Amino acid sequence: MTGLLKGQEEAGTAGMQYFESTALYENLPSWAAAALGLGYRWAQTGGAPRRIGLLSMPCDSEAAGLIALGALRRDLESRNINYEEAYFEVLLRACRERAALHKSRFQTADEHLWDVRNTTEGTRWRFAGHSDDKDVITLKSTTYRPEIKRKGKVIANPNSACTSFIFRRNALSWQLRNGSLPQLPAGGTALASSVYNALPGCCGTLWEANLSQSHDGLVLVGRGAAHDSVYMRKFIESGFALGEKRYSLAELLTLHNDDQNRIRRLRFLNEQAHQDDNLHAVQLVVADGISGLLQAIDIFPFSDIIGICNRDASPEAVRQLRERLSELSRYYSDTDPGSVLTEQLPAKILLRLLQRRD
């Protein structure tokens, strides 16, 4: 069993610098340190009852990415924040949802191109059924067709479909369509422990298995996931430098780890996300902007949420937020935000913390 990874230094700050575009800072700016620390401390103090944090910022910034990075760094320390034990349940839930969709009249023609991919063989399969008693998911080949043409006529296929099975013991060998690679294949690139160990203010010991396994317990809701979008550029052009190498926020957040040789520790959703995007248990949602925050509150009713509310937002967005907060006041109480802060916030940044009443 893989175990703990010691940091290069206990404080984890030696040689680390922060950059934004062409600017390089010897010391992490106070607002950035506060955001990184908020995410790290929030993840340290997680658990019921549900909490909603509202971080008021003077303008658009990389705060959401830094908060998410702090939370991701804390997740890397936890033995339970990976797919090692729970991935079979992830696949089983997806199989059940696919079965329900198959019976729905809303099913579209391309819904069942494939559901899972065998990461060893590269073959693709559809969900065919499951047995809760035996802990097994049955698959059928995507190449099978229930009807075929013979002598110009369409007839029932006399051959049965090729089948395969997912058990708990081999669940990590299967990747969901549009899902992250559950664990690194041979020759894959693990997360670099040196840079995560060196993040300022994040000094807990990493759990080695997390550097080579994915997890979807952390979500970032923002605008425009494409590499060349204006929104995503702020995460690509800022980040941390260690020695001669620079690591962008996008890279550290695993935002674009969608190939077959990298894992993903954060799921990105557009601010126009829908209820169907709540596929797995999510511990924390970081919502960048008021629109994303309002969506997240509805889509993730049981998850903790940190919303970044820029004070240059439109009057209409502010009005909608006030109305929603008024509704939430029936179930939530204001509580001391000091419990999720590692240091005092800069003068122009405010944090309001709501906690659900028992």
Are residues 254 and 110 both part of a single domain?
A: no
Residues 257 and 111 placed together within one structural domain of the fold: no
Positive or negative, the CA dihedral 60, 62, 65, 68 is negative
Structure token digits, residue 124? 């693709």
Query: Does some domain include residue 8?
Result: no
5 lies in some domain: no
Q: What is the span of the domain harbouring residue 154?
A: 87-176
Say yes or no: 209 and 299 in one domain.
yes
Inside any domain, residue 347: yes
Tokens at residue 252, please?
């550290």
| Whole-Å CA distances, 177 to 46, 95, 114, 287 | 30, 12, 7, 25
Question: Is 142 inside any structural domain?
Answer: yes
Statement to judge: residues 76 and 225 lie in one domain: yes
**pTM for this model (two decimals):** 0.87
Residues 295 and 323 in one domain: yes
Strands 284-288 and 218-222: parallel
State whether 19 and 151 are in the same domain: no
| Domain limit, last residue, from 110, 143, 176 | 176
pLDDT digit of tens for each residue in the chain (358 aa)?
A: 457 665 433 334 457 899 998 899 988 999 999 999 999 999 988 777 999 999 999 999 999 999 999 999 999 999 988 888 789 988 998 898 887 766 554 444 454 588 999 988 889 999 999 987 778 999 998 887 777 778 788 888 888 888 999 999 999 999 998 788 899 887 788 999 999 999 999 989 999 999 999 998 899 999 876 777 889 999 999 999 998 899 999 999 999 876 667 899 999 998 776 655 555 678 999 999 999 999 999 899 999 999 999 999 999 999 999 999 999 999 999 999 999 998 789 999 999 999 999 7
- 182 and 118 Cβ atoms separated by less than 8 Å: no
Q: How many residues does the chain have?
A: 358
Residue 130 lies in a domain: yes
161 and 203 part of one domain: no
Residues 74 and 222 in one domain: yes
What's the pLDDT score for residue 281? Answer: 72
- Check whether residue 165 and residue 222 sit in a common domain: no
From CA 235, how far away is CA 72, in angstroms rounded?
15
Query: Can you give the pLDDT at residue 13?
Result: 47
Judge if 294 and 148 occupy the same domain.
Answer: no
Q: Closest Cα to residue 343, out of 202, 194, 197, 196? A: 202
Residue 266 lies in a domain: yes
Whether 6 maps to a domain, the answer reads no
Residue 4 lies in a domain: no
DSSP-assigned letters across all residues of 239-292? EEEETTEEEEHHHHTTTT--STT---S-EEEETT--GGG--S--SEEEEESHHH
Same domain, 192 and 248: yes
- Of 142, 176, 210, the last residue of a domain is 176
Question: What DSSP designation does 157 have?
Answer: -
Of 238, 231, 247, 253, give the one whose Cα is nearest residue 20. 238
Domain count, the chain: 2
Q: Are residues 305 and 229 in the same domain?
A: yes
Helix (H) or strand (E) holding 90: helix 87-103
Final residue before a domain boundary, out of 176, 198, 231: 176
pLDDT at 292: 93
- The pLDDT tens digits for 11-68 are 344 578 999 988 999 889 999 999 999 999 999 887 779 999 999 999 999 999 999 9
